[in-house]
Amino acid sequence: GGEIYSPEGAGSDDYLAVVHANIAGGKTDALIDESVSLESSIDARGKISNKLILGRKHTGTGQKEWWYSTPNKDYFQILVPAGARLLHISGHDKKSPPPPAKKSAGYIADPDVEAIERSLEWLPEFKVSRLAQFGKTAFANYLTTAAGEKSRLVLEYENNSPAEIVDGANYKFVYERQSGVKPNLKYEILAPSGYIWRESGKNSFIYESNDPDGRIILDLTLEKLK
């Protein structure tokens, strides 16, 4: 139904959604190939560290219509667990956010949109916006990809809540795909030292798909090495 996933019950949860909005980029979304790669690791204290690599390729060269060959101007929002701390970001356009839109007479402001707008915070050290929405933290700015070119966004962050590190602990990762976008998805997570994932029998667990479902939920279990 389009609702954002909210965790229920016990267990450590991680979350990722990559959301795009084409702003004055013609109809170039139809010619963008995208890859999403998330590398995660859990240390002995349960700290969850993540590195997201978003790759985009504009295949719109040689098109008859200009709206297919113009640069793709993507306003991205990366939704991650609430309170996640940004450590590094590169590859984006570093545009400052525009001033809030003026309210026109006779129009009623949507309270949910107003709450999201009020949460917007500009992070000058990273040249990116941070917002709170749907119980998640979002990092946002622009990523421009010219026709025939590639762009690469790299985002590193730490989750606010630690994972439980005991034998048999449950760990859940949720990925939500924006409707109409079909990226190549790769997710890899490393267990803390001395543990493996029951589902893979190894220290690492890898999930890959070139046509991911709208919502992917991976339930994993830590096993302590004997």
Query: Listing from the earlier edge strand, what are the strands of the sheet with 12-22?
Result: 121-123, 128-133, 136-145, 72-81, 12-22, 170-177, 215-224, 195-197
Q: Is the separation of the CB atoms in 210 and 221 below 8 Å? A: no
Q: The tokens of 120 are what?
A: 């917007």
Q: Is the separation of the CB atoms in 205 and 189 below 8 Å? A: yes
Structure pTM? 0.93
Q: Beta strand 128-133 with 136-145: parallel, antiparallel or unpaired? A: antiparallel
What whole-number percentage of the chain has pLDDT above 70?
97
Rg for the chain (alpha carbons), in Å?
A: 19
Q: What is the pLDDT of residue 10?
A: 53
What is the DSSP code (8-state) at residue 96? P
Q: Is the separation of the CB atoms in 225 and 167 below 8 Å? A: no
pLDDT in tens, 168-199: 999 999 999 999 899 999 999 999 999 999 99
* Mean pLDDT computed over 102-120: 86
Q: How far apart are CA 8 and CA 221, in angstroms?
A: 17
Q: Is 40 exposed, middle or buried (0-12, 13-18, 19+ CB in 10 A)?
A: buried
**Taking 90 as the threshold, does the pLDDT of residue 9 lie above it?**
no
